[in-house]
Amino acid sequence: MPNSPRIRIFDTTLRDGEQSPGCSMSPQQKLVMARALDELGVDVMETGFPASSQSDREAMAMIAREVRRPTLAVLSRCLAADIETSAKALETAANPRLHVFLSTSPLHREHKLRMTREQVLESVHKHVSLARSYVGDVEFSAEDATRTEEDFLIEVARVAVAAGATTINLPDTVGFTTPEEIRGMFQRVIAGVPDSDRIIFSAHCHNDLGLAVANSLAAIEGGARQVECTVNGIGERAGNCSLEEIAMVLKVRNAFYDEDTRINTPRIVATSQLLQRLVGMPVQRNKAIVGANAFAHESGIHQHGMLRHRGTYEIMRPEDVGWESSQMVLGRHSGRAAVEQRLRALGFFLYEEELKHVFEQFKALCEQQRVVTDADLQTLMQGSATQN
Ligand code: KIV
Ligand code: ZN
């Protein structure tokens, strides 16, 4: 492996996540979220883009005062004024990181920057050097890396490293790449940078094709040792790689990846729910790990299997991500075993014939409503001649 084995989690919920339409946060809200991210155990927390707003500068100052363990990063364009503003914002941070970015793809060079390859290289050298004059921890991101000519991307990475960058991020800015492609890109760029074992290579994948987590995982296979992600996967357009998903893939499949993060996984659900409340954006019920259905079972076959051995239909324990327990949802697809188990939990112990009768009533109720609650079962038992 070209880099050290642990996977660093760079959380950008407060920067790229906040750029999600409708997800902006006040400095106070960012502080609350930063405390939760600290407890969650992220290695790096990107708090904002100080040159872009007074609110981000205030948030950074409040976070830097309180949150002392993780590295605190802020974003800057390759502009001296941005970098100076960021350096000022980082002054009180215990572990500051200046994150500088510039687009490298032909499309961005021509239409967004109107810069030649040479001008891009010059700007990278100049601004990474400037950032290094303020702090020892500098990350350079080659925006739109996955649509950049590979020979040029390697040149950019070399220049950034020579100018003092300690982390090189190769973002899939528009969520265009595939796992095979990004794995190869990381392998070749890392091989093309001298002394690459001194540098942390980082993946930053967007989810436009729903591949952000798969692509981040492939980048790790290619040598990335930092993953940039957000809680609930919030972020520009379809969002970023979801923190909870990548952390749990690495944990659940550790026999395969042999890499883990320092994420305190039982804090995941609470952190996700906090963010949902703060930005007013609930996750869908079937969202992996943190959706309400992630550990819920309704079909009779699955419930029966779960009652015998949870491993039949669950690949991780709900407690390991912060849910209290799995949920047996009673509805049209449920079987007798699950209904009987729920009734027992409510204090009703029925003989075979009684259970048969109550189960028929339960099925009739399911024709009228999607889910049968504990209260429904109690009402059903009150009206039943079999109540004990
Ligand atoms: O998606 C992207 O390229 C970014 C960079 C600024 C890191 O967010
Ligand atoms: Zn991004």
- pLDDT by residue, tens only, the chain of 388 residues: 344 468 999 999 999 999 999 999 999 999 999 999 999 999 999 999 999 999 999 999 999 999 999 999 999 999 999 999 999 999 999 999 999 999 999 999 999 999 999 999 999 999 999 999 999 999 999 999 999 999 999 999 999 999 999 999 999 999 999 999 999 999 999 999 999 999 999 999 999 999 999 999 999 999 999 999 999 999 999 999 999 999 999 999 987 787 889 999 999 999 999 999 999 999 999 999 999 999 999 999 999 999 999 999 999 999 999 999 999 999 999 999 999 999 999 999 999 999 999 999 999 999 999 999 999 999 999 977 555 5
Model pLDDT, residue 5: 65
Most ligand 1 atoms within 8 A of CB, residue of 141, 174, 206, 236 to mutate? 141
Q: Is the CB of 173 under 6 A from ligand 1?
A: yes
> Hey, what are 123's tokens?
């700007």
pLDDT at position 386 is: 52
Residues 6+ apart with CB under 8 A from 388: 348, 349, 350
The CA distance from 379 to 372, in Å, is: 11
- Take atom 7 of ligand 1 and give the residue whose Cα is closest: 141
What the block records as the tokens of 197 is 């074992």
Question: Which ligand 1 atom is at minimum distance from the Cα of 144?
Answer: 3
Q: Whose CA is nearest to atom 2 of ligand 1?
A: 173
Predicted confidence at residue 1, as pLDDT, reads 39
85 within 8 A of 60, measured Cβ to Cβ: no
Query: By the 8 A CB rule, do 175 and 147 touch?
Result: no
Burial (CB < 10 A; 0-12, 13-18, 19+), residue 114, is exposed
Nearest Cα residue to atom 8 of ligand 1: 16
CA–CA separation, 105 vs 99, rounded Å?
19
Atom of ligand 1 nearest to the CA of 12: 8
Report pLDDT digits (tens) over 307-354: 999 999 999 999 999 999 999 999 999 999 999 999 999 999 999 999
The string of pLDDT tens digits covering residues 96-148 is 999 999 999 999 999 999 999 999 999 999 999 999 999 999 999 999 999 99
- Give dist(CA 241, CA 234) in Å, integer: 8
139 CB near ligand 1 (under 6 Å): no
* Strand bridging mode 44-48 / 327-328: unpaired
Would you say the CB of residue 38 lies under 6 angstroms from ligand 1? no
* Position in ligand 1 atom list of the atom nearest CA 19: 8
**Which segments are annotated as binding site for Mn(2+)?**
16, 204, 206, 240
Phi-psi region of 259 (alpha: psi -120 to 50; beta: other; left: phi over 0): beta
Q: Closest Cα to atom 5, ligand 1: which residue?
A: 143
d(C-alpha 105, C-alpha 204), whole Å: 16
Name the residue of 16, 76, 99 to mutate for ligand 1: max ligand atoms within 8 A of Cβ.
Answer: 16
Give the pairing of strands 226-229 and 200-205. Answer: parallel
ipTM above 0.95, yes or no: yes
Ligand 1 atom index nearest CA of 174: 1
Strands 167-172, 138-143: parallel, antiparallel or unpaired by DSSP? parallel
Q: Which two tokens stand for residue 349?
A: 């112990």
3-state SS string for the chain:
CCCCCCCEEEECHHHHHCCCCCCCCCHHHHHHHHHHHHHHCCCEEEEECHHHCHHHHHHHHHHHHHCCCCEEEEEEECCHHHHHHHHHHHCCCCCEEEEEEEECCHHHHHHHHCCCHHHHHHHHHHHHHHHHHHCCCEEEEEECHHHCCHHHHHHHHHHHHHCCCCEEEEEECCCCCCHHHHHHHHHHHHHHCCCHHHCEEEEEEECCCCCHHHHHHHHHHCCCCEEEEEHHHCCCCCCECEHHHHHHHHHHCHHHHCCCCCCCHHHHHHHHHHHHHHHCCCCCCCCCCCCCCCCEECCHHHHHHHHHCHHHCCCCCHHHHCCCCCEECEECCCCHHHHHHHHHHCCCCCCHHHHHHHHHHHHHHHCCCCEECHHHHHHHHHCCCCCC
- Residues, CB-to-ion distance under 5 Å, ligand 2: 16
